[in-house]
Structure 1
Amino acid sequence: MALTYTDLVEVDLGKLGSAVSDWKKSVDMLKTAAENARTGMQAKSDKARWAGVNATVTREFVTKTAKEISDLHVEADSIHTVLVDGHTELVALQKKIRTAVQQDAPNLGVRVEDIGEGKVRCFFPHVRGDTDERTQEQLDAKQELEDRVNRLVAHASEIDASLARALAKSHGGDKHNAGHASYGSLDDAQAERAVELAKLGPKMTDKQYMELNSIMRFNAKDADFSTDFYTSLGGPKETLEFYGRMSLDGTMGDDKERLALTRQLQRNMGLALASATDPDNRSHLPASWSSEFRKLGTQRVELYPGAGSAPYGYQLLGGILRYGNYDARFINPIAEHVVQLHKKDPYRFVENKPTVGGSDLDWGFNPSGKNGNGYDPLTSVLEGLGHSPEAAKKFFTDPPTVYREDGTVDTNGTVTYKDYFEALNDKDFTWAPDSLAHPSSDEAAHAREMGPDALGHALEAATTGSAWDADPPVLHRDEQTADIMEKVINRYNVASTDGPPHEVMTDSLARMGAAYIDDLNYSIMDFGKAGDELGRARIFGDSSDGSAHRSFGEQGARNFMMLVAGDEEGYQTLSAAQQVYTASGLASHEGAPDDGIAFAHNSAKANGILDESRAHQIREDFKDDETARNLAMEKQGEWRKTLASGGVAAGVAAVTAGATAVFLGPAAGVVAATAVPVVVEVVGSTLDTGYGTHTLQYLEDNEYKNDPEALRSVQGLEAAGERGAWVPVNNYADTIGMTQAEKLELNREIEGSYRDGKDAISDAEKVSQ
């Protein structure tokens, strides 16, 4: 019977603590008894000169008794160990759930109800006179609380079940015979059970599958558990065989429940492998696992005897690598080997796939269904790098190491590219379709976009220092990430001779741009407005290590912004980040009006660049359809109105609502911070501007500090001129004490800067024609 919410909240774990103490006493006494038996009667028995019946009966009895006392000590020690671990974890979980229920729920005005079977529901109780209407933010907070409580209950239930199972195996059920399973930790017991289930392979029932996933879900990031699990599976080859059989089983046919279980296993195995292969963890797999995976990568791994065909090791490993934050020492040699194999023969792996009939096009080694079936390991390792920021950074900056076919290092080998950024961003690079669809079908054509999409994810991780889909995202920018971002800007812009990016990469490029919105603004700053380079540095602030903002060059930054903002989603992402950045920037200059006005001019210029970039692309897209063009332009205008009329102002308020607000000011230290995502309503749809706002959180923690009231004073956004240069100028002007006449003049000047930005794009448009 599963542990319930009520059980966890109300149980007195002090009794379990007392049992732990009692067992410790038993362990100590049995240890003494076992030692006495060994050095006392057993030693005397061994030295005695037995004869007759005593030589067989008495001597055997003494030996057996001494062993039984020793076994009792081992059993008691095992029981005590798992009790200690279980008690520690349950106490921690109980504390968390009590905090959630007794503090977080009342603060949200929410109640928690036990609905049985280890589940709860959270709801807003009706209050007389209340309309019962809730904001989306309130509903999201309630759901987050419900999910959190259910996770805590599920985790406690898994601990409870593992503890009961370990105690039963330690005892063995035979009151006349001690000496059964012995565990050095609860992790050992959980890993043992996980492997017991894994050995069943596809024969696992759904119930057993759920148990395996439950154990792995809560222990995958525990290096002790994950290392034990993979070691017990047998090795790299056995790991690939198990994963391959389970993947094919789960993606075959239309069993949605089985597929869901297989997707969970894929994620769990990835997270566990990342934990187990990190050399910095106390427990970890030997480095030989990476080299063995490389060796198996180009070999066929037979999943079923006599099947007639078999996948390559890399096709199997790729499915696991899609999840987890991997250490560069493990994943980068694998990624390098895969890229080099792909460069030699782009179709080597994808041609090794089954010919399936009917509509079963999901069959393969990527149960997640995201970016391919799993037959192309290049897409898989790029997705792995997209979740491994430090590894991705090194992958795109370190010089290549050449590998032979078997994955061993070729010290005399050479490649034709200086790094993997150059190799993968070559306009002539061939991306293979990772799909079972017919080669001439639309599905197969779409499959060629999956590799570039994964490349965008890997570049996001490399430039931001955060997994591309992290929630919440956390920025870790440094000189190396900025170096890669500069390469991105030089490669992907409207003037690039290497051609435009794959359309599927635009969302990644937009998020990267939002993550560097400060450096993009810095790059386009007019020296005439700043006075000189020192003035520009003062206006934007330097980082704490003394290095200035990275300048990508005005033309380079503008051309990148033009490319990204030409796309509707890219335009919205950059615009949202720009608006909040503008409000925050002005707040930092309350005591330095000249710098604040210069900052406002530059922000208006950035807005002009973004607006005209989108307008230019709309004109290009709808040359022959005036109605569609006007509708698209109107939609852009509505987006701008939303920003000006309170969307971004509300976003700023949301950012300031947390424990740490977002402000700009003097330089501070280079550290990472968690973002507060801002959701802005745009023409009936919702846009998540998390990257823009977590950029600002990063800026607040890394570069700027200021009085919270300064930001609140500029939350009202005003239109600066008929063309809609939406910058928080007027309230800032009030803050610094401008007269009405001075404010009007400032608005006209800001409008001029906005037009400068638009004209820069118009001029670029004319040149391109």
Structure 2
Amino acid sequence: MADTLTVQELTDLRLNSLKTAVDDWKTMTGRLEKLATGGDGQVSGEGLRSAANAATWQGVNATVSRGFVTKTAKQFSDAAAEAKSVHGLLHGAHSDFVKHKADLRTAIDDLAKRNIYVNGNGSVIASVPSGAAAGNSDDIHKPTDGELEVAQRRINKILAEASETDRIVARALRALVKNKYDFTEKGADSVEEADLAQGRADAEYWKKEIAKGHVEDWDQEKLDRFNEMLEKQRDNPGFTETFATGLGADGTLQFWRDLADPGQGNTPEGERAELLGQVQQNLSMSLANASHSHSPEMEAWKRDVIAAGGKQFGHEGIMVKPYGFQIMSNLMVKGKFDSGFLNDYGDALRAFEEKKKPFEPAAVWGNPGIASQLDYTGKGADGDFGEPGTDPMGGYLKAVSHNPDFATKLFNDDGWADYLVEDREFYDEDDPFGKGDGTTQSRDALGKALLAAGTGLDPDQPHAVNSYEHTDAQRQVLENTLGRLSAKGDDFPPELRDDMALLLGNWGDEVHRSASSLDTADSPLDYEELLEVSTQVSRDQDAYGILMEGVNHAIVADLHAEHEGDPEEELKRAGQTVGFMESARYHAIDTDKDDPSWPAKWGYHAYGGLANFVPVVGDAIQRGVDSAAYAWQLEEQQRIDDKAAIDTTQNFQSRQTYLRSLGEEWSALHPDHRLSEKGNEYLRQDSIGNSAFNGNTTANRIAGQH
């Protein structure tokens, strides 16, 4: 079969023949075991061996005949053992494939209910019936990009697991019959056992290849084979632990140092650089998997890697010697590392930095005497794969973001939060001494780690969020982060804007209730801190768009929620929040009034990633979200096209279309309310409009504008 099974292949897989084979091999195993050990008065290999050992052999018979008989007798037990292995593998394969097929069928049926179709190759697409076919076009669910992303990941996971079973069993069966003149003494008796054994074998093979040295001279074909093996074995403890402990801490670090940057002007580029990016990610995931082992050997490896952080690793023929922290952090860019290891590694890295007082990251990590090109997961300024990756805090924070529970713990440690958000310097790794584009890659990783800490979600994985519920620890991260970042004022790091927009969108209900508070001193989140952070986020066009999409989602969801009292309160709250957001937007533009770049390039589009952080809602709510978002986007475009000025005292005036859309959504939910009656449109618009004015006035007052 192909490396990866398709939906069609898995669906069409007939398991009756496999079940028959399982039964036949069970019978065969029983018969061979009787031949091997005896029973029911049968002649057996064990009896033959015992008789041979008890007999008195003379001359040639003592050496030749006796050995032949003994070896022949052993073949009976070997045959029984091999049959047992075959039966165990086939039985496990049958059980696994029954589950894989059932999982696929369940997934296809579930997705079909959401109008998502899975084709024979495994690709998911939206398949929305026409209004006529559905009977009522208002009830047709239209899958979002986020839903399609999660659906594709679900299908891919099932197909990958089925392909893994196929590969493991096929390899194990081939190993059993590799000698056509002899039976295998012992093979794996289950798919799980075979998987671990194959992983250990692969680790031993590549450990020997690496030990030969000069890995930088591996040709493309060999490097590709190594990468394919990593991709298959990166989640197999049999491989990952054996590989890591086999190389040892220093060996692991030296291996990547030699492979990534050979020196002598031979820095990898083109196809090799792109392939190295895949190797780096698969090796990172392998080490992440290994880090969860607590065997004595693996615990020693973890301690030794951390201890090697302050050690420099050279390469034959060149003077550049990066630190172990720099190398290891570039092997932590993917995968979920063990929380205990992340804790110990982070403490050691921070201690190393704090000992170098005054600590200047660019001078320490970016120094040309130690800086190597160690990161191939992204493209550099020349458009080719490969970046310096010199700041080890960047790779560490990526690893933190992939373990959200640990991220939450880390940023609830005031010492760590202060160090990362307030105290530590960051630098442009492309040119550490101020000649790059100004983007600080490690601070971008900081944003992802904060996002994970405050949401409990891995930013690099698609999710289907079902509610706005959070833990107390996640809320503490949000509140503390708002406090630290709002205190920065206009020095708010640009790299954090998009991540803070996503974080606020994930907490949209709290943001909406805070922005619409009548008493700013009693809002769920600190009103002034929220306003300042919203203003700083709004200084970037895309981040502003993400924030508004998230807030819009929360407003519409609130309109649809169950409430006590007069429903007009939800209408007024919607207006109040719109006014708050308009104030934040105005102050952002006023801060950067001499930089017209982002208002000049506005265009209607959706914002990638937001769907992974806001709750999946019912079709009725989603239609309201889409309708309001469309009105807001068109209004934004019109305002920019017309170069319409923003009135500092009545910012809500430029949001009349958006407010009208929200009002219409509210009326559709409350058709019997007096503000929904025919002829009362002006009263409804006055209610939400005046609330927007109040929200705007309050926010301006808090911001110091009158």
The TM-score with structure 2 as length reference comes to 0.76
Q: Among 506, 520, 531, which residue is 1:515 paired with? A: 506
Matched, 1:247 2:246: no
Superposed displacement of residue 193, structure 1: 5.5
Matched, 1:687 2:697: no
* 1:285-327: CA deviation from partner (whole Å, max 9, x where unpaired): 743332222122222346x556655443322221221111223
Q: Counterpart of 1:685 in 2: which secondary structure?
A: coil
Superposed displacement of residue 433, structure 1: 4.2
Residue matched to 2:344: 333
Q: Supply the AA of the counterpart residue of 1:321.
A: M
Residue matched to 2:426: 431
C-alpha distance 151-586 of structure 1, shift in aligned 2 (>3 A): closer
Superposed displacement of residue 56, structure 1: 3.0
Superposed displacement of residue 330, structure 1: 1.9
Q: Supply the AA of the counterpart residue of 1:295.
A: A
Distance in 1 separating the partners of 2:83 and 2:463 = 44
Superposed displacement of residue 452, structure 1: 1.3
Residue matched to 1:291: 303
Residue matched to 2:655: 724
Distance in 1 separating the partners of 2:615 and 2:109 = 33
Residue matched to 1:257: 271
Distance in 2 separating the partners of 1:722 and 1:425 = 37
Q: Would the aligned equivalents of 1:342 and 1:378 in 2 still touch at CA under 8 Å? A: no
Q: Counterpart of 1:265 in 2: which secondary structure?
A: helix
Q: Among 472, 477, 483, which residue is 2:476 paired with? A: 483
Matched, 1:561 2:577: no
Distance in 2 separating the partners of 1:101 and 1:211 = 34
Residue matched to 1:580: 553
Pairing of 1:333-732 with structure 2 (within 5 A): 333-345=344-356, 346=361, 347-351=363-367, 363-369=373-379, 373-398=388-413, 418-427=414-423, 429-435=424-430, 437=431, 439-443=433-437, 445-446=438-439, 449-472=440-463, 474=465, 477-493=470-486, 496=487, 500-527=491-518, 551-589=524-562, 592-594=564-566, 596-623=567-594, 628=596, 632=599, 683-688=603-608, 690=610, 694-697=613-616, 722-724=653-655, 726-727=658-659, 728-732=662-666
- Identity across matched positions, percent: 21
Q: Among 153, 163, 173, which residue is 2:179 paired with? A: 173
C-alpha distance 301-49 of structure 1, shift in aligned 2 (>3 A): farther
Distance in 2 separating the partners of 1:564 and 1:68 = 74
Q: Among 272, 276, 280, which residue is 2:290 paired with? A: 276
Compare 205-214 and 452-461 and name the one that shifted more.
205-214
Q: Would the aligned equivalents of 2:277 and 2:375 in 1 still touch at CA under 8 Å? A: no
* 1:102-142: CA deviation from partner (whole Å, max 9, x where unpaired): 9968996979577xxxx999999xx9xxxxxxx99799999
Distance in 1 separating the partners of 2:18 and 2:492 = 60
Matched, 1:752 2:690: yes
C-alpha distance 122-582 of structure 1, shift in aligned 2 (>3 A): closer
Q: Supply the AA of the counterpart residue of 1:441.
A: K
Residue matched to 1:676: none
Distance in 1 separating the partners of 2:161 and 2:228 = 8
Distance in 1 separating the partners of 2:232 and 2:394 = 28
Residue matched to 2:196: 188
Q: Among 90, 97, 109, which residue is 1:83 paired with? A: 90
Distance in 1 separating the partners of 2:164 and 2:285 = 18
C-alpha distance 375-160 of structure 1, shift in aligned 2 (>3 A): same
Superposed displacement of residue 186, structure 1: 3.0
Q: Would the aligned equivalents of 1:465 and 1:476 in 2 still touch at CA under 8 Å? A: no
Pairing of 1:140-219 with structure 2 (within 5 A): 159-176=165-182, 178-179=184-185, 185-192=193-200, 194-195=202-203, 196-197=205-206, 199-201=208-210, 202=215, 206-207=220-221, 209-219=223-233
C-alpha distance 151-263 of structure 1, shift in aligned 2 (>3 A): farther
C-alpha distance 339-38 of structure 1, shift in aligned 2 (>3 A): farther
C-alpha distance 268-598 of structure 1, shift in aligned 2 (>3 A): same
Superposed displacement of residue 394, structure 1: 1.5
The TM-score with structure 1 as length reference comes to 0.71
Compare 746-755 and 462-471 and name the one that shifted more.
746-755
Superposed displacement of residue 737, structure 1: 1.8
Distance in 2 separating the partners of 1:210 and 1:158 = 19
Residue matched to 2:134: none
Superposed displacement of residue 711, structure 1: 8.2
Distance in 2 separating the partners of 1:25 and 1:216 = 38
Q: Would the aligned equivalents of 1:74 and 1:179 in 2 still touch at CA under 8 Å? A: yes
* 1:154-178: CA deviation from partner (whole Å, max 9, x where unpaired): 7656654543333222222332454
Q: Counterpart of 2:553 in 1: which secondary structure?
A: helix
Q: Would the aligned equivalents of 1:300 and 1:313 in 2 still touch at CA under 8 Å? A: yes
C-alpha distance 294-355 of structure 1, shift in aligned 2 (>3 A): closer
Q: Would the aligned equivalents of 1:16 and 1:87 in 2 still touch at CA under 8 Å? A: yes
C-alpha distance 476-257 of structure 1, shift in aligned 2 (>3 A): farther
C-alpha distance 316-709 of structure 1, shift in aligned 2 (>3 A): closer
C-alpha distance 21-229 of structure 1, shift in aligned 2 (>3 A): farther
C-alpha distance 460-147 of structure 1, shift in aligned 2 (>3 A): closer
Compare 512-521 and 498-507 and name the one that shifted more.
498-507
C-alpha distance 506-161 of structure 1, shift in aligned 2 (>3 A): same
Q: Would the aligned equivalents of 2:398 and 2:445 in 1 still touch at CA under 8 Å? A: yes
* 1:26-45: CA deviation from partner (whole Å, max 9, x where unpaired): 34444444445686444454
Compare 707-716 and 29-38 and name the one that shifted more.
707-716
Q: Counterpart of 2:331 in 1: which secondary structure?
A: helix
Q: Would the aligned equivalents of 1:431 and 1:451 in 2 still touch at CA under 8 Å? A: yes
Q: Counterpart of 2:408 in 1: which secondary structure?
A: helix
Distance in 2 separating the partners of 1:210 and 1:738 = 70
Q: Would the aligned equivalents of 1:517 and 1:577 in 2 still touch at CA under 8 Å? A: yes
Q: Would the aligned equivalents of 1:383 and 1:454 in 2 still touch at CA under 8 Å? A: yes
Q: Counterpart of 2:674 in 1: which secondary structure?
A: coil
Residue matched to 1:70: 77
What RMSD, in angstroms, separates the aligned Cα atoms of the two structures? 4.6
Q: Supply the AA of the counterpart residue of 1:738.
A: R
